[in-house]
């Protein structure tokens, strides 16, 4: 697969995360968590998002599910 | 496809896998599992911890101690992957799991996109380890052991 094809897949996944996210829930989160969730939506990277939130990957995963982001 | 007899479990894999009802079937596929200490630290909620506790008490899962050597190899893998823009970032815990799987010749069980894509694009960096996510493992389990029903939560 070429770079362009991978970028397309990444872009589609990012768009899917943006669409499925419960933005009302996200807007109600404390700033640090909100930033972390937004990083997750953009990157799909659980570990780095968890570290931004000051959490373990496992704890952050629960927030991700509550925010309706399943991809 | 023949599977190695052992596996290395990443945190994102066990978080996902612990939600499956028949998660214990992993013990029928692999004779032993390993998890680096740093990865274990990422698991703190009830379901994944319960799944890990069961595996540890059965004597199936070994927590692998952290070492400087492992860390240096992990950093090297992270940097190699960074050179290819097609590979999403690989984070330190996943890189450590990959290095451990490579050393042991195990299957690396992960949901991390960076690792899965790196395995696809630079397989020689992982050899002799193989990389599987939970869906792929289920498919292989179904084929080899005939289990598929009841794998859902």
Percent of chain B surpassing pLDDT 90: 77
For residue A39, which residues of chain B lie inside 8 Å, CB to CB?
none
Tell me which residue in A48, A58, A61 faces B91 most closely, judged by beta carbons. Answer: A48
CA–CA separation, A33 vs A27, rounded Å? 10
Q: Among B48, B49, B16, B52, which Cα is nearest to B35's?
A: B52
Q: How many domains does chain A have?
A: 1
Evaluate whether residue A39 is within a structural domain. yes
| Residue-level pLDDT at A37 | 97
Domain boundaries, chain B: 6-145
| Residue-level pLDDT at B146 | 65
- Reported ipTM: the value is 0.77
Average pLDDT over residues B63-84: 94
Tens digits of residue pLDDT in B88-99: 999 999 999 999
Return phi, psi of residue B97, to 5°.
-60, -40
Tell me which residue in B86, B91, B117 faces A47 most closely, judged by beta carbons. Answer: B91
Evaluate whether residue A7 is within a structural domain. yes
Tens digits of residue pLDDT in A30-61: 999 999 999 999 999 999 999 999 999 999 99
Element (H, E) at A19: helix A3-20
Return phi, psi of residue B100, to 5°.
-65, -45
| Residue-level pLDDT at A60 | 96
Tell me which residue in A7, A44, A57 faces B11 most closely, judged by beta carbons. Answer: A57
Evaluate whether residue A57 is within a structural domain. yes
Evaluate whether residue A71 is within a structural domain. no
| Residue-level pLDDT at B151 | 44
The per-residue DSSP string of B23-82 comes to GGGHHHH-SEEEEEHHHHTT--SHHHHHHHHHHHHTT-EEEEPP-HHHHHHHHHHHHHHH
Q: Cis peptide before B29, with omega less than 30 degrees from 0?
A: no
Q: Which fold has domain B6-145?
A: Rossmann fold (3.40.50)
Contacts of B133 (CB under 8 A, 6+ apart): B13, B109, B110, B111, B116
| Residue-level pLDDT at B150 | 44
CA–CA separation, B77 vs A21, rounded Å? 32
Query: Residue B122's pLDDT band (boundaries 50, 70, 90)?
Result: very high
Chain B: nearest CA to A53, how far in angstroms? 13
Q: Half-sphere exposure of B40 toward its Cβ, with a 13 Å CA cutoff?
A: 17
The larger pLDDT score, comparing residue B19 to residue B103, is at: B103
For residue B43, which residues of chain A lie inside 8 Å, CB to CB?
56-58
Range of the domain at A45: 3-66
């Amino acid at each position: 697969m070429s770079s362009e094809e991978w970028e397309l897949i990444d872009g589609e996944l990012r768009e899917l995360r943006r669409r499925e996210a419960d933005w009302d829930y996200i807007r109600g989160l404390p700033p640090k968590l909100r930033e972390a969730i937004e990083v997750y939506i953009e990157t799909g990277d659980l570990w780095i998002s968890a570290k931004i939130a000051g959490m373990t990957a496992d704890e952050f995963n629960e927030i991700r599910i509550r925010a309706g982001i399943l991809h | 496809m023949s599977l190695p007899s052992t596996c290395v479990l990443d945190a994102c894999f066990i978080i996902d896998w612990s939600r499956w009802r028949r998660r214990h079937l992993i013990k029928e596929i692999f004779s032993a599992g390993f998890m680096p200490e740093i990865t274990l630290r990422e698991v703190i909620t009830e379901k994944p911890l319960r799944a890990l506790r069961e595996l540890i008490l059965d004597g199936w899962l070994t927590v692998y101690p952290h070492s400087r050597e492992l860390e240096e190899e992990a950093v090297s893998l992270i940097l190699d992957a960074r050179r290819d823009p097609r590979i999403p970032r690989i984070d330190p815990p996943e890189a450590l799991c990959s290095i451990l799987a490579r050393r042991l010749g195990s299957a690396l069980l992960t949901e991390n996109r960076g690792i899965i894509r790196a395995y696809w694009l630079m397989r020689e960096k992982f050899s002799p380890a193989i990389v599987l996510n939970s869906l792929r493992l289920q498919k292989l389990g179904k084929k080899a052991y005939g289990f598929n029903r009841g794998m859902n939560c």
